[in-house]
Amino acid sequence: MLVVAMASQKGGSGKTTLAGHLAVEAEKSGAGPVALIDTDPQGSLSHWWNARAVRSPQFAQAGVFDLASVLNHLRRLGIKLAIVDTPPAISESIAEVISRSDLVLVPTRPSPHDLRAVGATVDIAERFERPLIFIVNAATARARITGEAVVALSQHGTVAPVTIHHRVDFAASMVDGRTVGEVSPKSASAKEVSDLWLYVQDRLARLKKSETLASEARPQDISAHMEDEDFAEPLPPPVLHPAPKPYEGVDRRKEGRDRRDIPQDEVLFGGQERRTNRFGRRQADYFK
């Protein structure tokens, strides 16, 4: 039995959503029987599975000290692939899951906070000498930061050649225990999940040298599966406008009297039309 861990220190990276989607896709592709294991105390994956009308993939809830026995039990039941969801924090539970995994998937949003948080997960994977793959998840279309995130992550490990973009149908499909491929099989989101599983399946086949897991469709490189906007051209240099020409109209400052030559009473009261007497009447009113 092969064990795939979904691990990330950053909360909200999409581990639970991708775990459910990849498990269903693996079952559909014939790589099963597949089992999902939820080690997150929040139980989000458990709630999603309980809402499913179809009882596949299979499901198991496990604690930190129960994982080994749960994996052995699933192995005896004939499970071929187990995908383990982990809590969003670096703890002994994540280390325990990674130590018992054949492959570690790290969903990462293309944001500075998520990129800074990958180091701790990478350290645990390196400590147990487990292969690790980054998945750029919830990317914004036509955002240059997506391509920049791929470059940054590639300095720490392998990056999956398929980017999962942020779309509403991912969250909408999880409401009733389904996946986006089950709700909208022909959508762009379903295609991305399918391509991602083909890549993960191929990596597992090469890691374990298993011909049964090998897939005919094998991604060639990152650029073949990333959308065009992920590698947008750099911004053009700023346009330098010529300096404005000097004003050629009439200089009104040269007309009329200089303010320094106006008597002080006119400056304060604005001339005869202003209120100049103690009763507030205008001077002109006395001569009507």
Asked if residue 135 and residue 257 are part of one domain, the reply reads: no
Average pLDDT of the segment spanning 222-249: 43
Residue 108 inside a domain? The answer is: yes
Quickly state the pLDDT bin for 211 (edges 50, 70, 90). Answer: low
Best mean pLDDT range from 102-111, 166-175, 209-218, 254-263:
102-111
Residue 237 inside a domain? The answer is: no
Asked if residue 126 and residue 34 are part of one domain, the reply reads: yes
Residue 260 inside a domain? The answer is: yes
Q: List, for residues 129-175, the tens digit of each pLDDT value.
A: 999 999 999 999 889 999 999 999 999 999 999 999 999 998 888 89
Q: How far is Cα 38 from Cα 40, in angstroms, rounded to an integer? A: 6
Asked if residue 130 and residue 48 are part of one domain, the reply reads: yes
Q: What is residue 89's predicted lDDT score, i.e. its pLDDT?
A: 79
Asked if residue 146 and residue 17 are part of one domain, the reply reads: yes
Q: How far is Cα 73 from Cα 89, in angstroms, rounded to an integer? A: 26
Which of 35-39, 142-146, 224-228, 241-245 has the weakest average pLDDT? Answer: 224-228
Enumerate the H helices of the chain as residue ranges. Answer: 15-28, 44-50, 67-76, 92-99, 112-127, 144-154, 168-173, 180-183, 188-208, 222-225, 264-269
Q: Say how many domains are in the chain.
A: 2
Residue 244 inside a domain? The answer is: no
Asked if residue 256 and residue 226 are part of one domain, the reply reads: no
The mean pLDDT value of the chain amounts to 81
User: Which residue is associated with the tokens 């496990």?
Assistant: 62
Residue with the bigger pLDDT between 136 and 245: it is: 136
Q: What is residue 250's predicted lDDT score, i.e. its pLDDT?
A: 56
Quickly state the pLDDT bin for 58 (edges 50, 70, 90). Answer: very high
Quickly state the pLDDT bin for 277 (edges 50, 70, 90). Answer: very low
Quickly state the pLDDT bin for 252 (edges 50, 70, 90). Answer: low
Asked if residue 272 and residue 168 are part of one domain, the reply reads: no
Angle at 114 between CA 226 and CA 163, to 5 degrees: 15
Q: Which domain holds residue 158?
A: 2-231
Asked if residue 62 and residue 167 are part of one domain, the reply reads: yes
pLDDT at 263 > cutoff 90: no
User: Residue 66 in contact with residue 39, Cβ under 8 Å?
Assistant: no
Residue 174 inside a domain? The answer is: yes
Asked if residue 168 and residue 65 are part of one domain, the reply reads: yes
Residue 242 inside a domain? The answer is: no
Residue with the bigger pLDDT between 280 and 221: it is: 280
Asked if residue 267 and residue 149 are part of one domain, the reply reads: no
Average pLDDT of the segment spanning 195-224: 71
Asked if residue 264 and residue 125 are part of one domain, the reply reads: no
Instruction: Give the CATH number for residue 127.
Output: 3.40.50.300
Domain boundary among 185, 201, 231: 231
Q: What is residue 47's predicted lDDT score, i.e. its pLDDT?
A: 94
pLDDT at 274 > cutoff 90: no
Q: How far is Cα 190 from Cα 21, in angstroms, rounded to an integer? A: 9
Residue 247 inside a domain? The answer is: no
Average pLDDT of the segment spanning 84-99: 87
Q: What is residue 142's predicted lDDT score, i.e. its pLDDT?
A: 83
Q: What is residue 149's predicted lDDT score, i.e. its pLDDT?
A: 94
Neighbour count for residue 12 (Cβ, 10 Å): 15
Asked if residue 277 and residue 221 are part of one domain, the reply reads: no
Asked if residue 90 and residue 58 are part of one domain, the reply reads: yes
User: Residue 6 in contact with residue 38, Cβ under 8 Å?
Assistant: no
Percent of the chain residues topping a pLDDT of 90: 59
Residue 38 inside a domain? The answer is: yes
Which of 4-8, 119-123, 212-216 has the weakest average pLDDT? Answer: 212-216
Residue 181's contacts (CB-CB under 8 Å, 6 or more residues apart) are 21, 24, 25, 28, 190, 193, 194
Sheet arrangement for strand 103-108:
58-61, 34-38, 81-85, 2-6, 103-108, 132-136, 158-159
